[in-house]
Amino acid sequence: MNSPLVEVRLVNPALPAPHFALLRQAFPLSHFERLSAEGFRFYRTTFWYPLTRKPGHVFEQVVDVLRQSAEPGPDVVGVEWWFRVTHTHATPQWLLPCHFDRADLEEKDLSRIRHPHKASVLFLNAVPYGELVVTDQVLTDRGARPKQPHDMRFIRPRPNLYAVFPGHLYHGVIGRMWRAPRAPRLRLTMAVNWWTEQPGAGYLRDSRDALAAFGLPH
């Protein structure tokens, strides 16, 4: 039986150079740093962009370009996207604990949990630590199976690298582990989940509100 990790794909470069430069100019590092210092909750600021709508700003344009690389399929109706911002020294081992992406964080019935069709991460910068790790574990009505991963894929951040993988796989972000600590830096990514049905998360916003939510010029 093949490992589901055979479906993990890397695209580098993900965006044409002008598009990537426009993305970084629209949301510069200094703005990420300021929002982070103010305690902005990036992980709880996610947006829904229906694929039937033409892109209205730079972030939706990025999603539109990534669509070709993600190959989401005809059943995908839209994307949930957000920025993930973490300090590389946040914890000794995990910058983001392993988890399953899901439509409803409050759902307790494991048999009813919905996952995105595909999950993906666009890396915006290179940092000393912070590899994305994707495992072969999936969520069943008996919990994660296999109980311990048999296979894992580690993906080191570098600018304009795009990782795409099945949306039901267990994944996270490792920290400095056994390596000596270095000067802390912000690890910046844009997460894009491709859904066949809009997730019901209460904090999901209309993508048209993104610029205002981040305090960026319209």
- Quick one: pLDDT at residue 3? 84
Q: Pairing mode, if any, of strands 152-155 and 46-50?
A: unpaired
> How many angstroms separate the CA atoms of 199 and 101, rounded?
11
Round to whole Å and give the CA distance between 168 and 194: 11
The mean of the pLDDT values for the chain is 88
pTM: 0.91
Per-residue pLDDT of 38-75, as tens digits, reads 999 998 899 999 999 999 999 999 999 999 999 999 99
pLDDT of residue 90: 54
* Residue keyed to tokens 């539109």: 64
CATH class belonging to 4-207: mainly beta
187 neighbors 42 (Cβ within 8 angstroms): no
Q: If DSSP codes are grouped into helix, strand and coil, which group holds residue 33?
A: helix
Q: What angle do CA 50, 120, 18 make, to 5 degrees?
A: 80
- Please give the pLDDT value at position 66: 98
Instruction: Point out the residues of the chain with pLDDT beneath 70.
Output: 1, 89-95, 104-112, 176-184
User: Which three-class secondary structure state does DSSP give residue 60?
Assistant: helix
Q: Which residues contact 66 (CB under 8 A, 6 or more apart)?
A: 14, 15, 120, 122, 162, 192
